[in-house]
A and B are shown apart, each in its own frame.
Chain A
Amino acid sequence: MKFLRNKIDQLKKPFGKGEKWEKFAPAVNALDTFLFVPDHTTQKGAHIRDAVDLKRTMITVVLALVPALIYGIYNTGYQYLHQLNGGDVAFWDAFVHGLWKVLPMIVVSYAVGLTIEFIFAIYRGHEVNEGFLVTGLLVPMIMPVDIPLWMIGISVAFAVLIGKEAFGGTGMNILNPALLARAFAFFAYPTYMSGNKVWVSEATNVDAVSGETILGSLAAGHDVHFSMFNMFSGAIPGSVGETSTLWILVGAALLIFTGVGSWRIMLGSVIGGTAMGLLFNLWGANDLMNFPWYQHLLVGGFAFGTVFMATDPVSAAQTVRGKWIYGILVGFLCIMIRVFNPAYPEGVMLGILLMNVFAPTIDHYVIEGNIKRRKKRLAASKLKTA
């Protein structure tokens, strides 16, 4: 450790204060602090600090994503090989095929996003924020597997530049950057983001492979050939990381246990989604409406969106009461858009983005309640002294 530390200190010398490359210090510091928690001590305020920092928080989210990612990689291979060859598929065959497809998506996402983050950190003279550690992994997990890599690159660039940096950087964005990347790709390249050819690897090139999702089948009036167990375990077509409710729940458990993800938002979303699903079940005008409410929670991006997207602390509501309202409305809107949207049989992305826009309004009214209480107290006190 000492040897490595000395090497890093040597490497950092030209980037020190007043040195030739001082401007580029944030980039070197980012690499340094990735290896070591720095030796910085408290200089003002409380003399002792909690062990947690933003890196630890973000890495916890990355860890929570790993089970769904691993399953997503496997499922990418499984869906293709199972449809192509039929019967059972060996785990490693599926995994290797999936990795071949998904790894480049992850690399492109991180490379483009982190490059922009580093450039802005250097330009603005602040340290690199760790938010993109999560965004960079989320983006490939919510994309169809066959989307061209350059589209991922452009979507990520748009999300980071327009969705985040234009608003002032990490912590200032209105919309969830990962979802914004997906929304950009969805509206810019709709043929690569919807339909029945994009959700399974090579479905566009190989006739024997169909890329239709469950929601796509329902919207088209086709029968659904997947069991409840398939829906829960994730052996269904879909975006890379969204299919397995089981492994998403494992991630949710970690987020809830560590307190990194808001359980209020997650539970609120499930309550909202359930309520909307039940309402549609009662209405029952078409196949999508008749789709059982509990299956609505298992298919598509509902579970993934609820656990990993709606809980983004920056773009979600920030007050305790606000989180409940926000969560319930997210669930409500996701299912509503899913069922009512004639152009696209999924609604989770748009539902969460819409609520991202309304989250500050929700917070505003919650905080307004606090302000009103304070003003009421002041008025009562003036009355008493009058």
Chain B
Amino acid sequence: MSNDIRIRKGLNINLEGEAEKTVSDAPRVKTFALKPTDFHNTTPKMVVKEGEKVKAGDVVFYSKYSEKIKFVAPVSGTIAEIRRGAKRRILEVVIDADDQDVYKEFGAKDPGQLSAEEIKTYLLENGCWPFIRQRPYDVIANPEDTPKAIFISACASAPLAADAAFVLEGRAEDFQAGIDAITKLTPGKTHLSVNRKSDSFLNEVKGVELHRVSGPHPAGNVGVQIHHIDPINAGERVWVVNPEDVAIIGKVFRTGQFDATRTVAVAGSEVEKPQYYRVRIGSRINALVKNDTNDVRIISGDVLTGDKVTGDGFLGYYSNMVTVIPEGNEYRMFGWLPFKDNNIPSMHHTSFSWLFPKKKYKVNTNLNGEERALVVTGEMEKVLPMDVYPMQLLKACMVNNIEKMENLGIYEVAPEDFALIDYACTSKIEAQEIIREGLDLMIKEVG
């Protein structure tokens, strides 16, 4: 059977400001942060206090309901501040970094010589466990579970997304070591998806089932790949890991040190010189983005699924890109007229922009309308390449109908799979938020 995945439904949104394939070391910033909000459904229990010194790899907090899962410092330094929000919820643990990192030593290990349980213990100890997330629910994997398979998508298709093959250049040994460790965590297969046109070392990785993916976004979404390779049924668990995180895991096995270096794409029409930078996880954004004004929106992540941050904010734990686009807080006279404002991309044929699929657009954050009742049908299905009825699933989530949600495939989707529906929906429905709330309800009611 062919391992090719050809996606037909979906949409590529071509934006201005693609990151040029050059890598620089970002200037070393003084401040880093771990944000518990990056770890959905995780309640942090602090281990350190303000003013305490930490090494890179020292535990900063752990999960209240799964104490084995530890979150470690990406750099060495001093805990400067524990920022809290409403109801004393911890928002950020800010670390003032040392000039030179001092690493906690975990001791190098050969994954080939370890059992699955030993690998699990090692990953939990060295703080790499949060890199492993589970589907369904799109949360950090439960170490007590045994997944039926593990999926790694090294094929990014989101607008301006960082090229996984480029990011991993020169890290083949780390990546292979990471794969050697991860594959032991499942009795099933480890699936690695690559871009069909890719000729990187990823095609030669051992111990995985390779899939070549082609087609428009969301072809690169791991959820879409799972759906086409080995769909999740009720009661099953699969784990997913980002490709760069596999390399970070591999490096810990090889060196015994938690090196939280990421290669981050800084892209978007408002970036003077879009390119890649080497930074640490949780780095302050203004190391990467200079034009922090009210006229731009800085996003930790891509334009469809990322989080809004300020220049004083910090890179998200899982983010491998920063996107900067113009804010769209401006009025457009008679902007609702069909075939007007064709400089705004639209998948709908009420604008002429769909006739120029290759054209790159400078797009802003205007909602281009207001939220309305769900009226138009068929548009969501065009951008969700799954055997799932998106509108019906969204409606089931809205009314908290658990049985219907289960029947309609809630276990197979994650918010990111509905990001294009967010984008394309005529009624401006917040599909990702609805799916996230639906998944949270399932966690609470079904577990």
Contacts and interface: CB of A to CB of B under 8 A. Distances in A.
Interface string B348-373: 11110100000000011111111111
B373 A129 contact: yes
A378 B407 CA distance: 11
B231 A377 contact: yes
B280 to A, nearest CB: 24
Given A35-B333, A46-B305, A52 B375 contact: no
Contacts of B3: none
B387 A127 contact: no
B365 A130 contact: no
Query: Size band of the A side of the interface?
Result: 35 or more
Given A48-B325, A59-B336, A5 B331 contact: yes
B372 A54 contact: yes
B365 A42 contact: yes
B304 A171 contact: no
A41 B365 contact: yes
A35 B350 CA distance: 18
Interface string B399-425: 000000001110000000001101111
B328 interface: yes
Contact of B369 (A52, A170, A373, A381): A52
B368 A51 contact: yes
Given A47-B303, A171-B373, A318-B391, A370 B423 contact: no
Contact of B368 (A53, A59, A130, A257): A53
A334 B365 CA distance: 46
Contacts of A47: 297, 299, 303-304, 306, 308, 323, 325, 365
Contacts of B375: 54, 57, 129, 131, 170-171, 313-314
A1 interface: yes
B423 A50 contact: yes
Interface residues on B, range: 35 or more
Contacts of B102: none
A52 B348 contact: yes
Interface string A360-381: 0000000100110111011001
Interface stretch (A11-19, A213-221, A258-266): A258-266
Given A46-B423, A47-B365, A48-B303, A56 B336 contact: yes
B297 A37 contact: no
B4 interface: no
Interface in B260-307: 297, 299, 303-306
Nearest to B297: A47
Contact of A48 (B331, B363, B377, B426): B363
Contacts, number: 211
A112 interface: no
Interface stretch (B195-203, B208-216, B251-259, B429-437): B429-437
B426 A378 contact: no
A224 to B, nearest CB: 38
A367 B392 contact: yes
B13 to A, nearest CB: 7
Contacts of B422: 45-46, 49
B389 A370 contact: yes
Contacts of B389: 319, 367, 370
B365 A35 contact: no
A39 B373 contact: no
A63 B370 contact: no
Nearest to A1: B333
A170 to B, nearest CB: 4
A50 B345 contact: yes
B332 interface: yes
Interface in A306-350: 313-314, 316, 318-320, 323
Interface centre among B370, B391, B409 (most CB of A within 10 A): B370
Given A50-B424, A367-B392, A377-B233, A55 B430 contact: no
A314 B395 CA distance: 14
A44 B341 contact: no
Nearest to B372: A54
A263 to B, nearest CB: 10
Contacts of B159: 48
B375 to A, nearest CB: 5
Given A59-B336, A371-B408, A313 B331 contact: no
Contacts of B327: 41
Interface string A248-270: 00000000011110100000000
Contacts of B377: 262, 313, 316, 318
Interface string B111-153: 0000000000000000000000000000000000000000000
Contacts of A129: 372-373, 375
Interface in A56-73: 56-57, 59-60, 63
Nearest to B371: A127
A36 interface: yes
Given A44-B432, A48-B159, 6 more contacts: A48-B363, A49-B366, A129-B372, A262-B377, A318-B378, A381-B233
9 contacts: A33-B370, A45-B422, A49-B366, A50-B423, A51-B353, A53-B372, A54-B369, A258-B348, A319-B389
A-B residue pairs, 5 tightest by C-beta: A53-B369, A37-B335, A171-B373, A46-B422, A55-B336
